[in-house]
A and B are shown apart, each in its own frame.
Chain A
Amino acid sequence: MTPAADADATAPRYLRDRYAIVGVGETTYTRGSNLSTRALGTWAVKNAMEDAGIPAAELDGMMSYSNNDSTPSPMIAGDLGLRLNFYMDVYGGGSSSEALVGLAMGAIEAGMCNAVAIFRSMNGYSQVRIGGTGARARAPVAGDALHTTPYGWFSAGQNFSPSFMRHMYDYGTTPEQLAMVKVIHSEHASNNPKAYYRQRVTVDDVLNSRMIVKPLRLLDCCVETDNATALIVTRAERAGDYRHRSPRVLGVAGRVCKPRSDMHFQHGPISTVAGRYIRDIIWPNAGVGPEDIDLTGAYDAFTFTTMLQLEDYGFCAKGEGGDYVSSGVMRLGGERPNNTSGGHLCEGYTHGMNMIIENVRQLRGEVDDSCPLDGRGHRLHTYDYSEGGCRQVRDANVSMNLGWAMPGTGSSLVMRRG
């Protein structure tokens, strides 16, 4: 593929290899946390700090994103006794996490602070339902939403359904192929003790689940959960001060849009998503191509979002996403496993953070499966991927996260083993 004219992969301004993710942490994934988003956020950031082994005095930046359903950074920092030199809380959902890693790198590069904790805290089941039911469904409608919401075109599944349907029309993609995304992610989740849904499902289970909005059945849709997630970004040269062999950031692309971001459906093909544009930035900036990626974290708000992104990033030819996701490539033990934690379909819904956290642990070689620990607390991975077993990818050297906001907008993050 042709890199964008201004994307010189060797240029230092892209900060390749200059930053590391030195700590990750999360709360439990539940439905009914019985905690405030402040308490959840504090819990996750504290876990990320302990994971990194970073002293409070060295963590002086904080960022978060939310749909006005979270608690801002100053509350979390205050509770944890952190004095911040920088914070910013932005509005946004899916694909914000990768974008904020890039912005954190920029803030540090500008000399604004030394290390940034990024968190997403949400009661996506018990307070502000991510699926849009409850109070959200009764909110007043004005402005651009007048052209969508009054038509009962409102939830994420409803909003994206014409793109998904058109892919089936354009390329003959089948429900059975998409069901394999859920099947494979459920296999991965069965080896993840912290996943909300750990039971393996079959293609028939997916196809027999009730219809929500064609072409999406219940099991094509992700789970709604309560949880907070966090990660810590700092300069690569400081990474050695902390506990782990920390993955390095090779490249990042943030909130890349298709044309007509006011209503992306105006610019076809509507079965093509923002990945078509992201790939021209992320591959040259990261200095790698699809063949170099050992594992992916393709955002699975729905089975379709995983497929559409992998296809438009160039992991397979356009239109062959259905074959790609149903071939076994994405399975643990396959050529390029996807969402080894179970992702949003099974582990929990975090607007993308848990997929970055999983890839960080994979690149450390220390995924938290059920394999035994040695005397120093390191996992003795068996690489037996049967139910309840291992989920560490063998020789995981380079990972990619493919973040999704909507068909017209997405982000990406490529990391390598530290």
Chain B
Amino acid sequence: MLQGDYRGMSLTVSDVDHENRAYFEHCAAHDFHLQRCTACGLLRYPPGTACPWCRNREFAWTRVEGRGAVHSYGEVHQAIQPQFRERTPYLILLVDLDAQKGEPGEHEALRVAGNLATPDGELAPPELVERVGIGSRMRMVFADVAEGLSLPMWTLDEDAEQPERPWRYPGA
């Protein structure tokens, strides 16, 4: 069992939850992997027990580059969980990975969740929050929770060409 405390929450990955266990162990090595279907070759996120496109239950863990663009976001100003309250505002990001974007359907993508973070995986400060919106180019970093358990996070991709003005909620 993987277990760790993170921001006042007890995170647990049970031993029979093989898909999530392997996923988070790869994250703990800071080496992002997704399941690739051995029949149709499509990657999937989040971890699951069969291929959503062809129903094949067999898969191979495959290294995937954690880069992409913000598809949408929420910006939390009043936190619900107690230990997020001192860290507002924070961003919840859905990032379309470059890998497999627009496949198998035009509107489909590996849309990977995470917070906006600093390169070391900490929640981003307010001045960074204001710089990110739809279209921002991101790269994956990790927040280490415990042995064998890290969470994917997103930080601005310093090497990428950023949109001149990423789309943000009007007036802010």
Contacts and interface: CB of A to CB of B under 8 A. Distances in A.
The residue among A141, A142, A151, A165 with the most chain B CB atoms within 10 A of its own CB is A151
B99 interface: no
B90 to A, nearest CB: 6
Given A152-B90, A161-B92, A213-B78, A270 B172 contact: no
A266 B111 contact: yes
A150 B9 contact: yes
A162 interface: yes
Contacts of A133: 80
Majority SS of interface residues in chain A? mixed
Given A137-B82, A144-B46, A267-B108, A150 B74 contact: no
B94 A140 contact: no
A60 B114 CA distance: 49
Interface in A112-149: 131-133, 137-138, 140-144, 146-149
Contact of A153 (B20, B46, B74, B145): B74
B29 interface: no
B72 interface: yes
A165 B78 contact: no
B105 A267 contact: yes
A97 B82 CA distance: 32
Contacts of A263: 45-46, 111
Given A140-B12, A265-B94, A270-B71, A146 B81 contact: no
A154 B45 contact: no
Contact of A262 (B8, B46, B115): B46
B108 A266 contact: yes
A276 B74 CA distance: 23
Contacts of B140: none
Contacts of B46: 144, 147, 262-263
B108 A162 contact: no
Contacts of B170: 168, 174-175
A166 B115 CA distance: 17
Interface of A: 131-133, 137-138, 140-144, 146-155, 158, 161-163, 165-166, 168-169, 174-175, 210-215, 259-260, 262-263, 265-270
Given A152-B87, A152-B115, A162-B71, 15 more contacts: A138-B81, A138-B82, A141-B9, A142-B14, A143-B20, A146-B11, A151-B115, A211-B75, A211-B78, A213-B74, A213-B76, A214-B74, A214-B169, A262-B48, A270-B72
